[in-house]
Amino acid sequence: MSILIIADHDNRELMPATLKAITAGAQLSGDIHILVAGSDCYNVAQQAACVKGVDKVLSAENAVYEHHLAENLAKLVVSISDNYSHILASSTSMGKNVLPRVAAVLDVAQLSDVTEIKSEDTFVRPIYAGNAIATVQSSDPIKVLTIRITSFPEASINADAVQIEVLSETIESHVSRFLNEELTKSDRPELTSAKVVISGGRGMGSGENFQLLQGIADKLGAAVGASRAAVDAGFALNDLQVGQTGKTVAPDLYIAVGISGAIQHLAGMKDSKVIVAINKDEDAPIFQVADYGLVEDLFVALPNLEKALE
């Protein structure tokens, strides 16, 4: 039996998140096959073919797969699922959207956000916003898992290219249509894979004040994040949200600015190696998880921090 991993990509580049799912897949026994479904995405298939641990790439190129619509992609995955013991994807918005749909058609459970692979059938995952850790054993014939990307390192990408098999099947549902996409353009590192993240909370006071984080982020090569409160208040875009229902990050350095430290925010960042909290409220719960805490008004602290990093 083999392991199938659904690649996450934008039709040009393979996402680092998939390299992490491949690392997770390599801990299971069996050949690893990567499905690259998309439109004009042969480059991505070639990148996948050079990832260490990959035994075969399946390439499905068709306009109907361009935006990874769940209806089409799930059916494609189900159509090739026969020889697989495990089907994996990273816990990205693509993985979370498509994999439960695959599992339900296969009449098996799906395990979300797996942080550790104990054996072929036993997996660890956080529940209750990471306030409890469940070890779950599955007796389903096919295990369908999404992989928490902060829990596994990226597989290396310099192996000899393996075979790329072209899938010609076209599955189109006609019941859903892509209309448009507004993607945030940024020169900064991607939030979930950045080595340093600086996040702002409600204490930032406004969207303009997020500029105060940008200069520091530039100096540290950091990604900028936000708490749910800051996103709800309209200070930051939704794709910057770190927390239980946003993104999970685990950088070497996480700087929380004006963030009180609600349970749901901690769920998204408490696995960071070093946590710094800057908040004028010395009783803020964020200080209970911070390695270094500074009780100071952020409007004083941030300009000083930017200067100190010069």
Partner 1 sequence: MKILVSVKRVIDYNVKVRVNADNTAVDLSNVKMSMNPFCEIAVEEAVRLKEKGVASDILVVSIGSQKCHETLRTALALGADRALHIDAEDGLDSLVVAKLLAKVAEEESPDLMILGKQSIDSDNNQTGQMLAALLDLPQATFASNLDIANNEAIVTREIDGGLQTLSLQLPAIVTTDLRLNEPRFASLPNIMKAKKKPLETKTPMELGVSTTSNLKIVSVTPPPERSAGVKVDSIEELVEKLKSEAGVIS
> CA-CA distance, 203 to 44, in Å (whole number)?
41
Q: Is there binding between residue 264 and partner 1 (CB under 8 A)? A: yes
Q: Is there binding between residue 80 and partner 1 (CB under 8 A)? A: no
Binding mask 153-172 for partner 1 (x = CB under 8 A): --------------------
Q: How many CB atoms lie within 10 A of CB 310?
A: 6
- Please, what is the minimum distance in Å from the beta carbon of residue 62 to partner 1? 18
Residue numbers 13-52 binding partner 1 by CB under 8 A: none
Q: Is there binding between residue 281 and partner 1 (CB under 8 A)? A: no
Size of the site for partner 1 (CB under 8 A): 90
Residue numbers 111-130 binding partner 1 by CB under 8 A: 111-113, 122, 126-130
Is the Cβ of residue 32 or residue 37 nearer to partner 1 in the bound state?
A: 37
Is the Cβ of residue 156 or residue 186 nearer to partner 1 in the bound state?
A: 186
Q: Is there binding between residue 147 and partner 1 (CB under 8 A)? A: no
Of these, 36, 51, 69, 77, which contacts partner 1 (CB under 8 A)?
Answer: 69
Q: Is there binding between residue 184 and partner 1 (CB under 8 A)? A: yes
- Please, what is the minimum distance in Å from the beta carbon of residue 271 to partner 1? 9
At residue 73, φ and ψ (nearest 5 deg) are -65, -40
- Please, what is the minimum distance in Å from the beta carbon of residue 175 to partner 1? 4
> Residue 61 burial (CB < 10 Å; 0-12/13-18/19+)?
buried
> CA-CA distance, 5 to 206, in Å (whole number)?
41
Given a contact cutoff of 8 angstroms between Cβ atoms, the answer to whether 162 and 130 are in contact is no
Q: Is there binding between residue 274 and partner 1 (CB under 8 A)? A: yes
Q: Is there binding between residue 295 and partner 1 (CB under 8 A)? A: yes
List CB contacts of 10: < 8 A, sequence separation 6 or more.
Answer: none
Buried b / exposed e over 95-130, threshold 16 CB at 10 Å, is: bbebbbbbbeebebbbbbbbbebeeeeebbbbeebb
Q: Is there binding between residue 103 and partner 1 (CB under 8 A)? A: yes
Q: Return the axis-axis angle of helices 298-308 and 211-220, rounded to nearest 10°.
A: 30
